[in-house]
Amino acid sequence: LTSITSFAQSTNPAPYCSGSSVPFYFDPITKFQLGTFSNITGGYLGGQTGNYNSGTSKYVYFNNFTPILLQKGVNIPTSLEVIQGDCETKFIEVYVDLNQNNSFEITEKVGFVPSATIDANCQATTPQTYNFTILIPTTATDGLTRLRVIYKGGNGLPADIPCPNQLQYGEIEDYNVSITTTPTPVPPTVASLPATNVGSDQATLNGSVNANYGPTATISFEYGTSTSYGSTANATPSTTSGTILTNATATLTGLIANTTYHYRTKTTVGANTYYGSDLTFTTAAGGGPIISDVFLSTATSSTFYDPFFFNTLVNPNSSTGVNVYFEYGYTTAYGTTVPATPAVISGFSNVSVNYTFEPQPVYTTYHWRVKVVRNGVSYYSPDQTIAYFVNGSTINPVAASSITGTEATLNGSVLPDNYTTNVKFEYGLTNTYGTTVNATPNSFPAKTSLDFFPVAATITGLAINTTYHYRVRTETISPNPPAGSILRTHVGPDSTFTTTSLGTIDFHEDLFEVFPNPTTS
């Protein structure tokens, strides 16, 4: 029996004792629960929700119920709701005539709430509920007997009195009970509850089960696109027992988008099966996560690499969330996976995510793509490439100087690379050059600023009145690519100069020598 509003059938406790009273008293019992049994008394005879009137009885015998089943050796959840007006010392006691001798004895007290617990809530403006358990000992006699619940206080009444005298505050209620070693099986109470976390391809089913003192009950859910169901999902937790209401769930994945599903809670006890009511939910439109608008953008960085943003828009199509990553590498095998910002997103609309990528200045092509993981399933964007990437030294041409008929000084200006940069000059009669000399200085460490540095080289043995081509060449060894160190070369633009028509004259102490122009006499 559950949630029954009762009216007392008798105020005569015979053959059991009764408690005496004073003309005025207060604070009745308003609700008594024992296991699955619930009696909403509302005060004396179900009609008084506040204090009692003068001279009315404080005792009620509710003999209009089927005897309440009490199993021996089991803690039975019990609660008492009471009116609690005055700050008088009060107790809650429960007695059962365990030996069936038509008398309540102190040793037959099976439940108790101490005064310290109750007095803490004195002068409460609403009814107060006290939860506890009762235990029927295994030595009790099986069969029909009487249970008494006492809410008492006032005039210094002590505990451990099943027939209190001068009961000024409280009430006494009696019930018929049946003590048994093995209770008559009661079907479990099974309920289907609304689904939650419903996405395009997933949902969480919810339900509740009370085993009602029966054997262990197994919990699962049946679901499908009709009331024929067709699929079963194990619940968490998967079993329950006793009289505790157990909430159970099951997360479904791989559902069809924009589809209505039926489901119900299923409980099996031995060979018997019990069901909750049929409920439905409808998955969201769309399938898996949607990846769109994949693009690169430039970023400002404190280093001298050329950084980019990997960007994309992702519609998770999920209320529980997806994980977003970027994969990149030198080939379509990628090799490196990094979490996006933000790394976990949820919902049913586009979310912007990105990652700041600072590539090594070695290769001119990188491959990359978006990876989204939902419930262990991965979704990818098409392959993307960084189509152009150069991050080496920068060379500016500078005119040659100190030009004579047979020698000249080559000049240039260099912004070094991110690694140690060696500098040379190439020169010759055509733009295929043919001769290489070291510059001065001939090496620079990795750049730490955006400053250009001058370089020069003096060359001799030139032909007079002749045009020469020259350019600056830099060499950088990048030490950390996956394939090992790689030599990278950059060259500046082609420049020219023309030697003069005069030779050179060397003076000595007592003579001088003239080196004529070899083209004239």
**In this predicted model, what pLDDT tens digit does every residue of 438-485 receive, in sequence order?**
999 999 887 767 678 899 999 999 999 999 999 999 887 665 443 344
Q: Which of 214, 197, 363 is nearest to 281 (CA)?
A: 197
Residue at 41 is within a domain: yes
- The reply to whether 234 and 348 lie within a common domain is no
Residue at 460 is within a domain: yes
Q: Which of 295, 126, 288 is nearest to 202 (CA)?
A: 288
Residue at 317 is within a domain: yes
Under 8 Å CB-to-CB from 89, ≥6 apart: which residues? 115, 119, 153, 154, 156, 157
Residue at 484 is within a domain: yes
Our count of domains for the chain comes to 4
**In this predicted model, what pLDDT tens digit does every residue of 279-326 receive, in sequence order?**
999 987 766 788 888 877 764 433 334 567 888 999 887 777 889 999
Residue at 504 is within a domain: no
Structural domain for 452, as ranges? 394-498
What is residue 479's predicted lDDT score, i.e. its pLDDT? 57
Under 8 Å CB-to-CB from 504, ≥6 apart: which residues? 404, 405, 406, 407, 515
Contact status, residue 471 vs residue 493, Cβ threshold 8 Å: yes
DSSP string for 120-155: TTTT-SS-EEEEEEEE--TTSPPEEEEEEEEEEEST
Length of the chain measured in residues: 521
What is residue 4's predicted lDDT score, i.e. its pLDDT? 43
Boundary (domain end) residue, out of 386, 414, 434: 386
Contact status, residue 371 vs residue 329, Cβ threshold 8 Å: no
Residue at 168 is within a domain: yes
pLDDT at 11 over 80: no
Tokens at 103, concatenated: 């008398």
- The reply to whether 379 and 417 lie within a common domain is no
- The reply to whether 172 and 206 lie within a common domain is no
pTM over 0.85: no
What is residue 347's predicted lDDT score, i.e. its pLDDT? 83
Contact status, residue 161 vs residue 282, Cβ threshold 8 Å: no
Mean pLDDT of the chain: 80
pLDDT band at 47 (very low <50, low <70, confident <90, very high): very low
Q: Which of 135, 134, 9 is nearest to 65 (CA)?
A: 9
Contact status, residue 486 vs residue 362, Cβ threshold 8 Å: yes
What is residue 298's predicted lDDT score, i.e. its pLDDT? 60
Strand, coil or helix: 45: helix
- The reply to whether 138 and 38 lie within a common domain is yes
Q: Quick one: average pLDDT of 12-30?
A: 71
DSSP string for 62-124: E-SSPPEEEETT-EEEEEEEE---S---EEEEEEE-TT-SS---GGGEEEEE-HHHHHTTTT-
What totals of helices (H) and strands (E) does the chain contain, helices first?
A: 1, 38
pLDDT at 375 over 70: yes
What is residue 399's predicted lDDT score, i.e. its pLDDT? 92
Under 8 Å CB-to-CB from 85, ≥6 apart: which residues? 26, 27, 51, 122, 123
pLDDT band at 501 (very low <50, low <70, confident <90, very high): confident
For the chain, the C-alpha Rg in angstroms (whole number) is 47
**CATH number of 10's domain:** 2.60.40.770
What is residue 60's predicted lDDT score, i.e. its pLDDT? 83
**In this predicted model, what pLDDT tens digit does every residue of 107-126 receive, in sequence order?**
999 998 887 777 777 766 77
Contact status, residue 351 vs residue 380, Cβ threshold 8 Å: no
Strand, coil or helix: 179: strand
Beta bridge partners of 64: none
- The reply to whether 25 and 58 lie within a common domain is yes
Tokens at 219, concatenated: 């919990």
- The reply to whether 57 and 155 lie within a common domain is yes
**In this predicted model, what pLDDT tens digit does every residue of 208-234 receive, in sequence order?**
998 876 678 999 999 999 999 999 999
* Amino acid at position 347, single letter: G
Boundary (domain end) residue, out of 135, 155, 180: 180
What is residue 48's predicted lDDT score, i.e. its pLDDT? 40
What is residue 329's predicted lDDT score, i.e. its pLDDT? 86
- Say which range, 99-103, 366-370, 406-410, has the weakest mean pLDDT: 366-370
Q: Quick one: average pLDDT of 476-502?
A: 72
- The reply to whether 25 and 170 lie within a common domain is yes
Q: HEC string of 305-321?
A: CCCEEEEEEEECCEEEE
Q: Quick one: average pLDDT of 24-43?
A: 78
Strand, coil or helix: 442: strand
Residue 403 gets which letter from DSSP? -
- The reply to whether 36 and 87 lie within a common domain is yes
**CATH number of 382's domain:** 2.60.40.10
**CATH number of 493's domain:** 2.60.40
Boundary (domain end) residue, out of 386, 407, 434: 386
Contact status, residue 203 vs residue 283, Cβ threshold 8 Å: yes
- The reply to whether 150 and 267 lie within a common domain is no
Q: Which of 187, 239, 190 is nearest to 213 (CA)?
A: 187
DSSP string for 257-326: TT-EEEEEEEEEETTEEEE---EEEEPPSS-S-EEEEEEEEE---SSSS--EEEEEEEE--EEEEEEEEE
CA distances from 216 to 34, 70, 210, 271, 473 (A): 20, 18, 10, 12, 84
- The reply to whether 77 and 224 lie within a common domain is no
- The reply to whether 198 and 163 lie within a common domain is no
Looking up tokens 């200045």 gives 361
CB count within 10 Å of CB 130 equals 16
- The reply to whether 133 and 9 lie within a common domain is yes
Q: Quick one: average pLDDT of 328-351?
A: 90
